Chains A and B, each alone.
Chain A
Amino acid sequence: MPDNGLATLNLPTLEQIRVGCTACVSDVRGEDSATLRLLEMGLTPGASVKVVAAAPLGDPLELELRGYRLSIRRSDAARVAVAR
């Protein structure tokens, strides 16, 4: 899992949001193509995201944002800092 410095900041990430709860994206860390793809999919600062479900094996997550459903892996969700 990439260390994005979020742990030290003690900010919750999308990965830590419980299933059924909604959070607001505050930042997506990193400068690689993965970060860009998450932003392009609409996970931009200010977007409201609901964690709808987790797959039976625990990963990936099912999210609801901007009126659609998106699935991303926990390792990518850990890049997304959120405010509850």
Chain B
Amino acid sequence: MTHPSGGQADRGLGAGLDPERTITVALLGNPNTGKSTLFSALAGIPTRIGNYPGVTVEEKVGRFSHKGRSIDLVDLPGTYSLRAQSPDEQVVIDVLQGRIEGVAQPDCILVVTDATNLERNLFLASQAIDLGRPLVIALTLSDLAEQKGISIDIAELSRRLGCPVVPVVAPNRSGLGALGDRILESVSVAPPPAADLGPYLATIGGNRTAPAREAIARYAWIERLLDGVVSRTPTVAVRLGDRIDALLTHRIWGTLVFAATMLAMFTSIFWLAAPLMDLISTGMDGIGAWAESVLPEGAIRSLLVDGVIAGVGGVVVFVPQIAMLFLFIALLEGCGYLSRAAFLMDRLLCGVGLSGKSFIPLLSSFACAIPGIMAARTIENPRDRLLTILVAPLMSCSARLPVYLLLCGAFVPNLPVGIPWLRLPAVVLTAMYALGVVVAAITAFVLSRTIFRGPSQPFVMELPGWRWPRWDVVLERSREAAWSFLKNAGTLIVAMSIVIWALGTYPKFAPAADRQVPEAEARGEALRQSFLGMAGRAIEPVVRPLGWDWRIGCAVIASFPAREVVLGTLGVIYNLGDVDPGAEEGASELARRLKAATWDGSDRKVFTLPVALSIMVFFALCAQCASTLVVIGKETGSRLWPVVSFTFMTLLAWIAAFATYQIGSQLGW
């Protein structure tokens, strides 16, 4: 194979390169090639994580030094081709061409290629070579390739490509030194020659588009390039992998294994994380109580205890679920099952305009939308990812459960429904869960055919080979997810809790000096007279059609930092003081109080069955969760989507609650 070599030498930029300057290296590769593992192995924890302007692509930069030279490693999103079909893919090209402000044009492109899937991986690599920049190829998973009986003549491959090819096993750190050496060398020699597609292009007939012709020619070029470089001998591992694959995609067995896996995952984030979350809550309560005992009474103490400490507690409490879910996802991804799960579930979700990859994010959202939305990172298609993020909060999370339980228990008549052991409250509870799912399905269906309609993106998903997950990689993934949540979303969530605290505390209520007011009543009065109380009264005309009085409106506003707060606020507003709606006595006491509540200046009861149903329906669909909105903002890298999400969910919740109350009242429930 010959390459045109004329005019290559002047493309080298080594001559003018200042030996003191930091070298910028872009990390390019297909998805599932162990790219992020290589990033961590080379650069450790990223020094900078952000978002590229206008797109949902994470900008991740890490720094390391090799032989005294400082190297900035810019991680690019996994991609199959340099011919961009979406703005997110365009970012890759823009970074490589140095067209992004604040990101230096890479001095060298490090292309990660999967040794078990060299032919397809070289498609992207050869496109990158055509950019005419210094380039090094890292051959990952070469240990796995060996097990699968794939042998690669690396020296010959490197000679034919005209660029260094370095086998690495990133988790063992093997090959990293050589990789660093080749990177340093690459910047001072001529870049590899572009692939000569001419002869292949000439053989393609028909009226095809230029990119299509390029793709066909490139594969022909690669086939020729790899001829005599790669050889395969089927091994036991391959046959075993095929057997596992046949079992796990089997109509019955595959479905059973899938159901069991999902059940285990869901159980662990729902219940296994619970003791840890309780521990955090108890710990934060302890810190709060301690602060309360050492600080003098006053505004500062109230701010620290009820604002800051409660806010921090409200953030940290999510960490166990996030860590647990990402542990599971990393395990499934590590062994290759994550794509199989998406494969099994695709048919179910593509009907509503999503894909199989949305399944785990949506399922996780039943425990909590925050890890669910974060799990949407595993969806490569930006459209599907955004759509999943928008509908995920409609799944009834565990914070809605106490609201449902209390209201179902207190206001839904305990009547049999004709099926043994099944009573009306249980039916209503199930209906609330179903409501979220149905509304999410309709929303996804409508959005995917309207606003999100774009050029048809085919569902192409690689099913990677089976392998053993690596514990260090799995734990790192989980740690990274928890940390990124704390760091990126934590501050904003705490700030919001403080704002809500201030609104519920000021203006200060001063009881008349001549009257002894019981503590609970004083707290109730303070809340009623605060900005929050005023806001509740101000929005009364809006919530009146839902059958609510201003106190309910007030409690709903107060629940913005976290949904379950609504019960606690109702407790305070009805002079119960602090009740723990989770504890049986707290809940039954609160239920008793709510049942007795009457409209101001009359003895008409506030809480009737239609009102309770309207509150539940509202909570099933509303976006009263500041943390979710903050995470949507962070994950989409935009301020627009949280606003869209909040507006659309609140509208939806209002309409549904309105319909519920009006129909319920008409039917005389």
A residues contacting B by CB (< 8 A) are: 28, 31-42, 44-47, 52-53, 55-60, 62, 66-73, 76
Considering the chains assembled together, what is the distance between the CA atoms of A36 and B212 in angstroms?
Answer: 6
B461 neighbours in A (Cβ, 8 Å): 60, 70-72
**Top-6 shortest CB links A-B:** A57-B347, A69-B463, A39-B215, A34-B458, A68-B117, A66-B119
Considering the chains assembled together, what is the distance between the CA atoms of A39 and B206 in angstroms?
Answer: 15
Complex partner residue of B462 from A33, A53, A70, CB under 8 angstroms: A70
B246 neighbours in A (Cβ, 8 Å): 53
A39 neighbours in B (Cβ, 8 Å): 212, 215-216, 219
Do A40 and B123 touch across chains, with their CB atoms under 8 A apart?
yes
Contact A62/B249 with A36-B211, A39-B212 known, Cβ cut-off 8 Å: yes
Do A70 and B463 touch across chains, with their CB atoms under 8 A apart?
yes
- Number of residue pairs across A and B with beta carbons under 8 Å? 132
Do A37 and B457 touch across chains, with their CB atoms under 8 A apart?
yes
A36 neighbours in B (Cβ, 8 Å): 81, 83, 85, 209, 211-212, 215
B83 neighbours in A (Cβ, 8 Å): 36, 40
B251 sits at the interface (CB 8 A): yes
Considering the chains assembled together, what is the distance between the CA atoms of A42 and B119 in angstroms?
Answer: 9
Closest to A61 in B: B343
A59 neighbours in B (Cβ, 8 Å): 346-347, 350
- Most B CB within 10 A of own CB, among A33, A34, A35: A33
B80 neighbours in A (Cβ, 8 Å): 37, 40-41
Do B458 and A71 touch across chains, with their CB atoms under 8 A apart?
no
25 residue pairs of the A-B complex, CB under 8 angstroms, read A32-B455, A33-B456, A34-B455, A36-B83, A36-B85, A37-B85, A37-B460, A38-B458, A42-B219, A44-B219, A53-B246, A53-B249, A55-B249, A56-B252, A56-B344, A58-B347, A59-B347, A60-B343, A60-B346, A66-B117, A67-B119, A69-B462, A71-B346, A71-B463, A73-B459
Closest to A39 in B: B215
Q: How many whole Å from A57's CB to the nearest CB in chain B?
A: 4
B245 sits at the interface (CB 8 A): yes
> Interface size for chain B: under 10, 10 to 19, 20 to 34, or 35 or more residues?
35 or more
Considering the chains assembled together, what is the distance between the CA atoms of A45 and B200 in angstroms?
Answer: 13
Complex partner residue of B209 from A31, A47, A58, A67, CB under 8 angstroms: A31
Contact A33/B85 with A40-B80, A56-B255, A72-B458 known, Cβ cut-off 8 Å: yes
Complex partner residue of B460 from A38, A45, A57, A66, CB under 8 angstroms: A38
- Most B CB within 10 A of own CB, among A36, A42, A69: A69
Do A41 and B120 touch across chains, with their CB atoms under 8 A apart?
yes
Do A41 and B460 touch across chains, with their CB atoms under 8 A apart?
yes
Do A73 and B212 touch across chains, with their CB atoms under 8 A apart?
no
Considering the chains assembled together, what is the distance between the CA atoms of A44 and B212 in angstroms?
Answer: 9
Complex partner residue of A45 from B150, B216, B346, B465, CB under 8 angstroms: B216
Chain B contacts with A in 344-381, Cβ cutoff 8 A? 344, 346-348, 350, 356
B398 sits at the interface (CB 8 A): no
Q: Beta-carbon contacts of B115-133 to A below 8 Å, as 1s and 0s?
A: 0111110010000000000
Considering the chains assembled together, what is the distance between the CA atoms of A52 and B254 in angstroms?
Answer: 14
B118 neighbours in A (Cβ, 8 Å): 67
Closest to A65 in B: B120
Closest to B145 in A: A67
Q: How many whole Å from A6's CB to the nearest CB in chain B?
A: 14
Considering the chains assembled together, what is the distance between the CA atoms of A37 and B30 in angstroms?
Answer: 13
A45 neighbours in B (Cβ, 8 Å): 216
B575 sits at the interface (CB 8 A): no
Do B212 and A35 touch across chains, with their CB atoms under 8 A apart?
yes
Contact A67/B232 with A32-B456, A42-B120 known, Cβ cut-off 8 Å: yes
Closest to B458 in A: A34
B339 sits at the interface (CB 8 A): yes
Considering the chains assembled together, what is the distance between the CA atoms of A77 and B530 in angstroms?
Answer: 63
Chain B contacts with A in 196-217, Cβ cutoff 8 A? 208-209, 211-212, 215-216
B66 sits at the interface (CB 8 A): no
